[in-house]
Amino acid sequence: MKIRLFQSSDLPELRRITVEGFEGIAIDQNVENKLGVLGDHDWRWRKMRHVDEDCEMNPKGVFVAERDGVILGYISTRVDHESGKGRIPNLAVDVSARGCGLGRQLIEYALDYMQQEGMAFAMIETMENNPIGQHLYPSSGFVEVGRQIHYARKL
């Protein structure tokens, strides 16, 4: 298994892994569960769009885990050189490859990258109904700093 820099041909597979992985834990799915399908797109389309944005905004900070040419997962990052804040907006590992330490390795890889970019600290967030995130992030050195309540309404 190797972790390498994202390339644009990875995008369809990153989208697939994301939509499969975030079933049940995506905020846009919560919105849809409460308010119904909104506009012309469902939560899966909106979630895929997050991945596209990550790859557009900071392609040099998206890292892909691959074995024998098969993509197993990825992590995305943002770096703000003025504030010194690094962020991990998205992380997903294919269902077939979970529980082998890949998620943790991707986090460590992203943290190294953000440190090299001169970031002073890093942030990551997880949903209340995502027990894996709530285990994995504290055990990767993150401390909880706050909880947020999300509201949505139809227009």
C-alpha span between 2 and 76 (Å, rounded): 16
Closer residue to ligand COA, CB minimum distance, 104 or 155: 104
CB 90 within 8 A of CB 50: yes
Q: Which is nearer to ligand COA, 13 or 81 (CB)?
A: 13
Look at residue 70 and give its three-state secondary structure: strand
Regarding 142 and contact with ligand COA (CB under 6 A), the answer is no
Q: Which amino acid is at 147?
A: R
Tell me the β-bridge partners of 72: none
* Length, in residues, of the chain: 155
Q: Count residues near ligand COA (CB under 6 A).
A: 21
Q: Which stretch binds ligand COA (CB under 6 A): 44-52, 78-86, 125-133, 142-150?
A: 125-133
Q: Based on the shown chain and the rule CB under 6 A, indicate whether residue 89 belongs to the binding site for ligand COA.
A: no
Q: Is 63 in the site for ligand COA (CB under 6 A)?
A: no
Helix (H, G, I), strand (E, B) or coil at 30: helix
Among 16, 78, 85, 98, binds ligand COA (CB under 6 A): 98
Q: Which of 11, 25, 57, 123 binds ligand COA (CB under 6 A)?
A: 25
User: Up-side HSE of residue 40: CA atoms within 13 Å toward CB?
Assistant: 0
In this structure, what token pair is assigned to residue 44? 């899966």
- The residues that touch ligand COA, with contacts defined as CB under 6 A, are 21-22, 25, 91-93, 98-104, 126, 130-133, 135-136, 139
